Amino acid sequence: MRFFRKKAALLGAFAAIGAAAACAESVDSPAEPGAADCASPPVGIAAQRINDAGWRIVEAADFNLDGMQDVIWNNPGENLMAITLLNGTRLAAQGPSILGPPGEGWGVTTAGDFNGDGMADAFWTNPGRSLMAVWLMDGTHVLAREPEFPRPDTFEPVTGVGDANFDGMADIVWHNPDRSLMMLWLMNGPRPLAAGPEIPAPSGAGWSGIVMADFNSDGMADVLWNNPDRNVMAVSLLHETELLAEGPAIPGPAGNGWRVVMAADFNSDGMADVLWGNPTISQMAVSLMNGAHLLAQGPELPGPPGQSWEVRTTGDTNFDGMADGVWQVTGTNRMAVYLMHSTQLFVPGPELSGPEGGE
Does position 30 have pLDDT exceeding 60, yes or no? Answer: no
What pLDDT score does 357 carry?
72
List all residues 6 or more positions away from 18 whose beta carbon is below 8 Å from its beta carbon. Answer: none
For the residues 76-98, what does the mean pLDDT come to? 97
Q: Helix (H, G, I), strand (E, B), or coil: what is residue 18?
A: helix
Q: Residue 198 corresponds to which amino acid?
A: E
Spatial separation of the C-alpha atoms in residues 33 and 42, rounded to whole Å: 7
For the residues 32-59, what does the mean pLDDT come to? 55
Q: Residue 74 corresponds to which amino acid?
A: N
pLDDT bracket for residue 302 (50, 70, 90): very high
CB pairs under 8 A, 24+ apart, for 168-175?
A: 168/7, 168/8, 168/113, 168/116, 169/113, 169/114, 169/115, 169/116, 170/112, 170/113, 170/114, 170/121, 170/123, 171/212, 171/221, 172/123, 172/132, 173/209, 173/212, 173/223, 175/201, 175/208, 175/209
- Name the DSSP class of 294: E
Q: Helix (H, G, I), strand (E, B), or coil: what is residue 22?
A: helix
Residue 234 neighbours by CB distance under 10 Å: 19
What pLDDT score does 50 carry?
40
Residue 332 neighbours by CB distance under 10 Å: 15
Report the predicted TM-score, pTM, of the whole model to 2 decimal places.
0.86
For the chain, what is the mean pLDDT?
88
Spatial separation of the C-alpha atoms in residues 20 and 235, rounded to whole Å: 43
**Strands 273-278 vs 250-251: parallel, antiparallel or unpaired:** unpaired
For the residues 13-37, what does the mean pLDDT come to? 35
Spatial separation of the C-alpha atoms in residues 340 and 282, rounded to whole Å: 16
| pLDDT tens digits for range 118-155 | 999 999 999 999 999 999 999 999 999 999 999 998 99
Q: Residue 178 corresponds to which amino acid?
A: D
